[in-house]
Amino acid sequence: MNNVRVRFAPSPTGPLHIGGVRTALFNYLFAKKYNGTFVLRIEDTDQTRYVANAEQYIIDSLNWLNIPFDEGPNKNEKFGPYRQSERKDIYKKYAEELIKKGKAYYCFDTAEELDAHRKDHEAKGKTFIYNWHNRAKLTNSVSLSKEEVEQRIANGDKYVVRFKMYEPENNDAETIEADDIIRGHVSFKKEILDDKILFKSDGMPTYHLANIVDDHLMEISHVIRGEEWLPSLPLHIALYEAFGWNAPEFAHLPLILKPVGKGKLSKRDGDKLGFPVFPLAYTNTEGEVSRGYKEDGYFSETVVNFLALLGWNPGTEQELFSLEELIQSFDLARVNKAGARFDPDKTKWFNQQYMQQKSNADLAVTFAESLKEKGISLEEKTIEKVVSLIKERATFVNDFWDLSSFFFEAPTEYDAKASRKQWKEDTPILMNELIAIIETIEDFNSVNIETIVKEWITSKEIGFGKIMQPFRLSLVGAMKGPHLFDIAELIGKEETISRIKKAINTL
């Protein structure tokens, strides 16, 4: 496939929802598979909903996920500018071109007039649609003379420009036909479609006009977007035809659905069930903070991997993919039509899998930062060893402290239930004997400690539990943690003896 150019075109109205992230990811994977170009375009025509920090948030999110854009704002601006608010003059020219061709027309109807028409239709049990059926009865350049139109524009009357979707009087085709890579052949009846606004009275284009003009001028070859844009496809196809341009290929992605119930995944679902729906944490203008996958402890690879499998089927049993493997395997033809249900537990599973793949050294660097915040500073090799002992039980690096605090701090309290069960009347005597044995061990490594202690237990002809359970309780404060003798080796002989003595004096 030659000269593949795709674009991700979000609106800067707030944080980037995980559904938008998946759209960006699928565009990225498709572009990279065919050595194409991934374009970021900021669609900020709706200035009333514009949020100042949203554009940078989008860029930061793509960079964190390692799916950066090739072209976009302030980067390889071959077809720039890439913010629609900076391209206003371009759109006006194309709106006027459609008017000259008779494919669009000026409309001067006021909001009050349109509201009156709606109410009149409702009273008659009908639905008001501004289209071929009634455009000649409304206040526009179809019903008005050329002189009247020119006079109204000269007077500064407010107007919008609408597209003529259907013209039966000119033997217009009754349907719009299109082929979607994911959904196959689709057909739309023109007679039930409205004449969409292309250009607004504030001098800004609507999404529809700006989208088509930009995709054409930026030489976009494939439009990969969410299925919520499928109802707009007939208008977009009709616009390409009206301009005499070749349309790109279209692919409409399925929705990401709620974990439970019906409908698409929303921030409310995340808040209710305790998971993020944004890649990075986001602070809105009121100072409210929304959770992000990064700050919740997810690896960027996790987010990319689970999003890729939401709606796309690789055709194999493989679930874990590197970014390079995703690029090689990705195929739009294997994207499902049906919505993909979001599974928060599965996302945690993915993170756990990536945790095991990470080197202990890399994880230790991250863990060391949180230890420093607690005033704990140790050699990297020691932290690495701790990580190696606990990471199999962890889902997030954020879990490390709860799983390993006893390596760094002696227990200040002991699990009550375990104490009652494991600490018997003769336990202090046995623990003092254990101290005497530990004091004799010169090479204090895990294997050596285990061998000597177990030989001693065997020689006493008592159950291992009578020693091992209170021993663990002394070192950890609870019946948890990795191999007991690994703990002893890491905290050292002196600390091991000190903790046993503390337990004897406390329990």
Q: How far apart are CA 195 and CA 137, in angstroms?
A: 14
Bridge partners, 184 (sequence order): 180
Query: Quick one: residue 415, left, alpha or beta (phi over 0 = left, psi -120 to 50 = alpha)?
Result: beta
Q: How far apart are CA 144 and CA 176, in angstroms?
A: 29
Please identify which residue in the block is written with the tokens 């071959």: 78
The DSSP code for 413 is: S
Phi, psi of 193 (to 5 degrees): -95, 145
Classify the C-alpha dihedral 70-73-78-82 as positive or negative. Answer: positive
Which of 267, 346, 358, 493 is flagged as catalytic? 267
Is residue 479 within 8 A of residue 415, CB to CB? The reply is yes
Kind of pairing between the strands at 104-107 and 197-199: unpaired
Residue 466 in 3-state DSSP? helix
Please identify which residue in the block is written with the tokens 């196809």: 237
Is residue 227 within 8 A of residue 22, CB to CB? The reply is no
The DSSP code for 255 is: P
First to last CA, the chain: 73
Which amino acid, one-letter code, is at 331? D
Count of CB atoms situated within 10 Å of the CB of 250: 21
Active site residue 267: yes
Is residue 85 within 8 A of residue 44, CB to CB? The reply is yes
| Active site residues per annotation | 267
